[in-house]
Chains A and B, each alone.
Chain A
Amino acid sequence: MSDILAENKTIAAAPSDGLAVLESQRSTAETFGIPLAVLAELTHRCPLQCPYCSNPIELDRGGSELTTGEWKKVLSELAEIGVLQIHFSGGEPTARKDLAELVQHATDVGLYSNLITSAVLLTREKLSALADAGLCHVQISFQGNEPEVADRVAGLKNAHERKIEAAKWTRELDLPLTVNAVMHRQNLHQLADIIQMAVDLDADRLEVANVQYYGWALKNRAALMPTIEQIDETSRIVEEAAVRLKGILAIDYVVPDYYALRPKKCMGGWGRQFFNISPAGKVLPCHAAESITGLEFESVRSNHSIAWIWQNSEAFNRYRGTGWMKEPCKSCEFREIDFGGCRCQAFALTGDAGNTDPACTLSPMHEQIFKQAELEAAAHQDRFLYRNFAGGTLETEGEHGA
């Protein structure tokens, strides 16, 4: 070892992306090694009504949610089988009164915990209790950089102001902060200001995430779809900021697929390195997977272990690897690069989750969705359908959900 050190080899080449390293050892795609991180959707209840919500249209009711005891058992089991990180999400996870107890349990079993929150229900005391329980990181969503746009998108009055306050408490408590900004046609003009807001809030990280069109966002696509000019401008702003803010603010950028040439490697490949657990305890390959009809998902309330569900359940195996593929994916040189893109998007746009994601230029539908995106972006149909348990409420003239 002293030789390696003296020869200046290993140290300079030090930590690389852990997933690649772990997969090169034993957590390979072929053996479906247990994921490093799992998303726990504690509840679908949420005071916000964002029209691009990633939750399914059919929301889990409060009464069907896993109990505190059930979630604790899940967390213990996850840690035991080798999961390292837990993302507490929703809905709004702070709507659960037992959140601090669950964070404490995650800490006790050795899980790295991340809170993905809208922050509007937080108080300084609640946040402080979460920090004391061992919370490692806080991610707060923002809908804009000022209340007018942000509160309208969120469908909640004073939401923006409360988020700003919660973000300040986060940093005062010395918790690391990620600002998550979901971008679309009606707030992309604020991107430069949102980046500055993240710097001013002393955030460590900013996620600039273009809306992905499933579920609620698909219903609202005409009101959200950006123009191609906006996307070009966005890329330019993000690239410039990433260089300028190196070492101050890390920026992750999620590009919109409708204008992409190659599809995204959705979830790192179906059933390959990610799963999430729904409020009612279903183990899902992604948070939108329930939108694909005809797939049966197993629950943590079943007699099966989570590891069994991950490795053996029909839903996880249906689109795992490359064996399920049809042309053009089947013989495509990129089939193990992007795994055919997103199954939910393929289902939503073509009616068959086994088709190539139309975000891919090789999909026979690509041209069509690209044109549709351009048309919708130009049509200026700006009314939102707000997300709620009643199947959505259309925004009314002059009276926004806020």
Chain B
Amino acid sequence: MAASRNISVSEASRPKLPRHARLKFDETRQVWVILAPERVLAPDEIAVEVLQLCDGVRSVSEMVDQLAVKYAAPREAIATDVVAMLQDLADKGFLTEVREKTS
């Protein structure tokens, strides 16, 4: 299996959206949405920005660095927020983590 479940998000995590959760811009309603089975979530613009960085390659630590520079904000505060947000999504099953391939 390529992805694992029940993940614990840390700065070392390399999260990505699982196949069943799609981030999409809804043209009709002019809002970002996460499409999932039987659900549509409406992430706010900051969540969207973080989720767009979740490509399974970038670590949470790298995302935080990037956001800290972009918003000239304290790294520690951003890290706390980002990890909490991603963990919340992971608990709901809308975030997964790429496992190290052994090959």
Contacts and interface: CB of A to CB of B under 8 A. Distances in A.
Contacts of B20: 136-137, 175-176, 204
Contacts of A37: 38, 40
A18 B46 contact: no
Give the dominant DSSP class at B's interface: mixed
A37 B36 CA distance: 11
A84 B35 contact: yes
B81 A8 contact: yes
A3 to B, nearest CB: 8
A6 B77 contact: yes
Given A1-B45, A5-B67, A110 B31 contact: no
Interface in B21-42: 22, 24, 26-29, 31, 33-35, 37-42
A1 B33 CA distance: 19
Contacts of B28: 34, 81-82
B26 A139 contact: no
Contacts of B40: 18-19, 22, 36-37, 84-85
Contacts of A368: none
Contact of A171 (B1, B33, B72, B84): B1
Contacts of B31: 21-22, 25
Contacts of A136: 19-20, 22, 35
A14 interface: yes
Interface in A1-46: 1-2, 4-6, 8, 10-19, 21-22, 25-27, 33-34, 36-37
B91 interface: yes
A17 B2 CA distance: 28
A236 interface: no
Interface stretch (A146-154, A159-167, A246-254): A246-254
- Looking at A2, A5, A22, A25, the one whose CB has the most chain B CB atoms below 10 A away is A5
Looking at B44, B84, B92, B94, which has the most chain A CB atoms within 10 Å of its CB?
Answer: B44
B93 interface: yes
Q: Which of A16, A85, A248 has the most C-beta atoms of chain B within 10 angstroms of its own C-beta?
A: A85
Interface of A: 1-2, 4-6, 8, 10-19, 21-22, 25-27, 33-34, 36-37, 81-82, 84-85, 110, 112, 114, 136-137, 139, 171, 174-176, 178, 202, 204-205, 246-248, 250, 252
19 contacts: A5-B78, A11-B46, A11-B84, A12-B81, A14-B85, A15-B42, A15-B44, A17-B41, A22-B40, A27-B29, A33-B29, A82-B26, A82-B28, A84-B24, A112-B22, A137-B37, A202-B1, A204-B5, A204-B93
Interface of B: 1-3, 5-6, 18-20, 22, 24, 26-29, 31, 33-35, 37-47, 50, 67, 71-74, 77-78, 80-82, 84-85, 88-94
